[in-house]
């Protein structure tokens, strides 16, 4: 590169980029959520939205990104990019950022995004905010978000800053301290402003066939050799068991420690209720830690963030870490023996009782209601 | 050969968390613990020490009381502790923190057959960024989310956990590995370890110690040097308490399903 890259020359950076994560040639669904969110940010800034897609022969999945709002996709194909490696992906992303200079760069907070993004940020000398749950450029939009999304008295809060332009800098909001606090982070002095975004939080927009056809696919020249990659991927193994799709589910029936007296029976009841509603079974962390259900069922700060139409919490006390993953569900129903359980504080409907008594009755009631329709 | 472990003392967020009126954390009223994922990193290091007899050095950055945590780790079997501590380092974000810790590790020295273990993430920030950023600053390869580690000559074969399975990754030393809780079951302190821990070497690295290292630049460390800043912090909204239904019989569940059907929720 002729000139020295300077991340502090903020005026030289333009456009919103999304790192488009694919595995085995298949786009990760979080990518589409990020493209939809990136479109919103690009519109607020009045700039273009670009995807950056790395893989081996992945042109075929680039068009789809246009359908969700990307104006352009930079595609980097190489056998060395077939499987994710920190070294190869960091080099290509960093070289691309240094050459083309986006002002915002988003990654999904997957186990890969959270490996790649920090490495890139460290090499680019810029800031990275982890695991964001809300993003804003426009200040008015941010204030409106806080009106319902925080306990702040927004009308008596000063949003101005002497240090930076509050209306053009990306405001990245994320939970901290296990969800007890929320913080909005800015990266005013360096570019790109980088964030990893929690999967399942941003809403995927509508797909537009015409835009998918119109998207511009670009293949920049890039350098990558075997010597750049210090690790070797020996094997990629998919989990044999089909994992539960909590994020896409409209109905989630979750179990907690309350099933302890009859674990198998409790899980069976939850499965029956979920089947009756056309939903899936989730769980609290305690259930996964005890080995009663596998980790893919876990809802909460260290598990998945979900917002189904209905979330039914059975025998879950409602630790803040669990609430952090489900409190934005449209309707929350809690069944718990302890009428002081914190889960009732956020439940729309609560029943104080033994789940082993209540759930069979609830299943009967749902069946009867369906039969009556 | 030696093994370096990075550890952090964190407030215990699993219990009651106290928040100040201004929306910051009331750290003074909270218990501190060793970050849980870091315990898995320590165990990974001690497991290798058991097999190979190599030295294990724990690095932490924090205020002077973090020495207590290092002594606890020594009672588990860690041989040496390094406490990076200084007012100049306070308020650092992940970028600035990784520069300082990397400068400390580099000052201590990394040899060709060394391994650095870190926890996947800390429970106060949950960022998972400092491990990879230390690796970048030290120009070392990294493997994150390690669920299983095997030695193969001078390299490691790591089962790198993914949401939908895993990768098997081969990496040469020196390297940095971040550890998840599935990796192992951390051991306890031993009585003999507790007796010995206060006679093991502990080094404090201050700003004075590190200030000539190329990674330590006043404009890139501490609160002022951090690329990211906190714009606002706040507590999540309290959702209003909903309807508590009377009783736990069939008529109660009928009533609930009736309400949900009427609202077209089910």
Closest Cα in chain A to B99: A122
The Cα of A102 is separated from the nearest Cα of chain B by a number of Å equal to: 17
Q: Which distant-in-sequence residues (6+ apart) come within 8 Å of B153 by Cβ?
A: none
Task: Please give the domain boundaries of chain A with CATH numbers for all domains.
Answer: 10-228 (3.40.50.620), 251-368 (3.40.50.1220)
* Strands A310-314, A331-336: pairing kind: parallel
The pLDDT assigned to B240 comes to 62
Computed over every residue of chain A, the mean pLDDT equals: 94
The domain spanning residue B27 has which CATH number?
3.40.50.620
Predicted confidence (pLDDT) per residue in A282-311, tens digit: 999 999 989 999 989 999 988 898 888 899
The Cα of B263 is separated from the nearest Cα of chain A by a number of Å equal to: 11
**pTM (predicted TM-score):** 0.87
Predicted confidence (pLDDT) per residue in A58-115, tens digit: 999 999 999 999 999 999 999 999 999 999 999 999 999 999 999 999 999 999 999 9
Number of separate domains in chain B: 1
Contact between chains at B256 and A333 (C-beta distance less than 8 A): yes
The pLDDT assigned to B238 comes to 67
What residues of chain A lie within 8 A of the CB of B235, using their CB? 150-151, 180-182
The encoded tokens of residue A163 equal 């240090």
Instruction: Report CA dihedral (A99, A100, A104, A105) to the nearest 10 degrees.
Output: -60
How far is Cα A101 from Cα A4, in angstroms, rounded to an integer?
12
For residue B25, is it within any domain?
yes
Predicted confidence (pLDDT) per residue in A313-331, tens digit: 999 999 988 998 998 888 9
Predicted confidence (pLDDT) per residue in B191-209, tens digit: 999 999 999 999 999 999 9
ipTM, two decimals, is 0.91
Choice between A178 and A261, residue whose per-residue pLDDT is larger: A261
Helix axis angle, B94-108 to A113-124, nearest 10°? 80
Write out the DSSP string of A202-219: SPP----HHHHHHPEEE-
For residue B211, is it within any domain?
yes
The pLDDT assigned to B261 comes to 85
Predicted confidence (pLDDT) per residue in B117-146, tens digit: 999 999 888 899 999 999 999 999 999 999
What residues of chain A lie within 8 A of the CB of B231, using their CB? 161, 166, 171, 184-186
Chain-centre distance of CA A183, in angstroms?
17
For residue B216, is it within any domain?
yes
The pLDDT assigned to B24 comes to 66
What does residue A218 show for φ and ψ, rounded to 5 degrees?
A: -120, 140
CA distances A337 to A298, A347, B247, Å, are 22, 14, 11
What residues of chain A lie within 8 A of the CB of B145, using their CB? 111, 115
Predicted confidence (pLDDT) per residue in A328-358, tens digit: 888 999 999 999 999 998 999 999 999 999 9
How far is Cα A290 from Cα A292, in angstroms, rounded to an integer?
6
CB nearest to A180's CB, from B13, B133, B266: B13
The pLDDT assigned to B266 comes to 81
The pLDDT assigned to B22 comes to 64
For residue B55, is it within any domain?
yes
Largest Cα span, chain B:
75
Contact between chains at A345 and B164 (C-beta distance less than 8 A): no
The pLDDT assigned to A141 comes to 96
Chain A interface test: which of B228, B244, B259 (most A C-beta within 10 Å)? B228
Chain B interface test: which of A21, A30, A115, A279 (most B C-beta within 10 Å)? A115
Check CB contact of B31 with chain A, cutoff 8 Å.
no
Contact between chains at B164 and A309 (C-beta distance less than 8 A): no
- State the count of interchain CB pairs (< 8 A) between A and B: 270
The pLDDT assigned to A137 comes to 97
The Cα of B85 is separated from the nearest Cα of chain A by a number of Å equal to: 22
Contact between chains at B244 and A344 (C-beta distance less than 8 A): yes
For residue B265, is it within any domain?
no
Is A288 strand, coil or helix?
helix
For residue B104, is it within any domain?
yes
How far is Cα A149 from Cα A64, in angstroms, rounded to an integer?
32
Work out the average pLDDT over A142-169. 93
Helix axis angle, B94-108 to B130-137, nearest 10°? 50
Computed over every residue of chain B, the mean pLDDT equals: 92
Per the structure, the complete domain to which residue B52 belongs is given by: 2-225
CB nearest to A184's CB, from B136, B231, B238: B231
Q: Is the pLDDT assigned to residue A1 strictly greater than 50?
A: no
Work out the average pLDDT over A225-234. 96
Closest CA to B37 of B10, B19, B55: B10
Check CB contact of B161 with chain A, cutoff 8 Å.
yes
Q: What is the mean pLDDT of each run of 10 residues along chain B (266 residues)?
A: 97 72 70 94 97 97 95 98 96 96 98 97 92 98 97 94 94 97 94 96 98 93 93 80 86 92 80
């Amino acid at each position: 590169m002729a000139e020295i890259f300077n991340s502090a020359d903020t005026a030289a950076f333009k456009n919103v980029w999304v790192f488009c994560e694919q595995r085995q040639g298949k786009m990760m669904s979080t990518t589409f959520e990020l493209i939809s969110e990136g479109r919103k940010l690009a519109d607020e800034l009045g700039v273009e939205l670009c995807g950056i897609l790395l893989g081996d022969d992945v042109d075929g999945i680039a068009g789809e990104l246009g359908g969700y709002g990307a104006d352009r996709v930079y595609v980097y194909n190489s056998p060395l990019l077939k499987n994710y490696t920190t070294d190869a992906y960091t080099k290509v992303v960093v070289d691309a950022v240094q050459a083309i200079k986006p002002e915002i760069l988003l990654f999904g907070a997957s186990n890969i995004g959270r490996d790649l993004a920090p490495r890139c940020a460290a090499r680019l000398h810029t800031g990275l905010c982890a695991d964001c749950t809300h993003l804003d450029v426009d200040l008015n939009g941010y204030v409106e978000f806080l009106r319902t999304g925080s306990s702040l008295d927004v009308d008596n809060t000063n949003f101005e800053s002497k240090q930076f332009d509050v209306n053009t800098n990306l405001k990245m909001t994320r939970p901290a301290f296990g969800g007890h606090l929320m913080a909005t982070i800015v990266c005013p002095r360096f570019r790109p402003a980088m964030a990893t975004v929690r999967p399942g939080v941003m809403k995927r927009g509508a797909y537009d066939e015409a835009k998918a056809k119109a998207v511009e696919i670009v293949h920049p020249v890039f350098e990558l050799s075997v010597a750049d990659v210090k690790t070797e991927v020996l094997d990629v193994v998919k989990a044999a068991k089909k994992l539960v799709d909590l994020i896409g589910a409209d109905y989630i029936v979750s179990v907690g420690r309350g099933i302890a007296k009859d674990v198998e029976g409790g899980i069976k009841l939850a499965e029956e209720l979920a089947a009756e509603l056309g939903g899936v079974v989730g769980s609290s962390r305690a259930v996964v830690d005890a080995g009663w259900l596998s980790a893919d069922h876990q809802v909460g700060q260290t598990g998945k963030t979900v917002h189904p139409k209905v979330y039914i919490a059975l025998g879950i006390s409602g630790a803040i870490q669990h609430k952090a993953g489900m409190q934005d569900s449209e309707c929350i129903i809690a069944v718990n023996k302890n009428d002081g359980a914190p889960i009732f504080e956020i439940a729309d409907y609560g029943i104080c009782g033994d789940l082993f008594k209540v759930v069979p009755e609830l299943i009967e009631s749902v069946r009867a209601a369906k039969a009556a329709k | 050969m030696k093994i370096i472990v990075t550890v952090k003392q964190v407030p215990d967020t699993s219990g009651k968390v106290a928040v100040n009126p201004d929306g910051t954390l009331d750290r003074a009223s909270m218990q501190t613990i060793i970050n849980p994922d870091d315990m898995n990193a320590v165990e990974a290091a001690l497991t290798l020490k058991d097999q190979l007899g190599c030295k294990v050095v724990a690095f932490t950055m924090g205020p002077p009381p973090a020495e207590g945590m290092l002594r606890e780790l020594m009672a588990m079997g860690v041989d040496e502790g390094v406490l990076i501590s200084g007012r100049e380092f306070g308020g650092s974000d992940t970028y600035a923190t990784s520069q300082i810790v990397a400068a400390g590790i580099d000052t201590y020295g990394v040899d060709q057959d060394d391994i650095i273990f870190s926890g996947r993430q800390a429970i106060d920030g949950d960022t998972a960024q400092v491990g990879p950023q230390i690796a970048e600053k030290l120009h070392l390869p990294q493997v994150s989310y390690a669920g299983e580690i095997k030695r193969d000559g001078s390299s490691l074969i790591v089962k790198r956990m993914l949401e939908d399975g895993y990768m098997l990754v081969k990496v040469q030393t020196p390297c940095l590995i971040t550890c998840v809780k599935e990796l192992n079951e951390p051991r306890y302190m031993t009585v003999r370890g507790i007796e010995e821990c206060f006679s093991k070497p502990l080094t404090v690295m201050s700003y004075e110690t590190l200030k000539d290292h190329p990674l330590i630049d006043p404009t890139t460390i501490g609160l002022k040097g951090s690329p990211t800043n906190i714009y606002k912090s706040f507590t999540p909204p309290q959702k209003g308490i909903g309807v508590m239904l009377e009783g736990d019989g069939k008529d109660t569940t009928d009533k609930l399903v009736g309400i949900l059907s009427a609202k077209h929720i089910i």
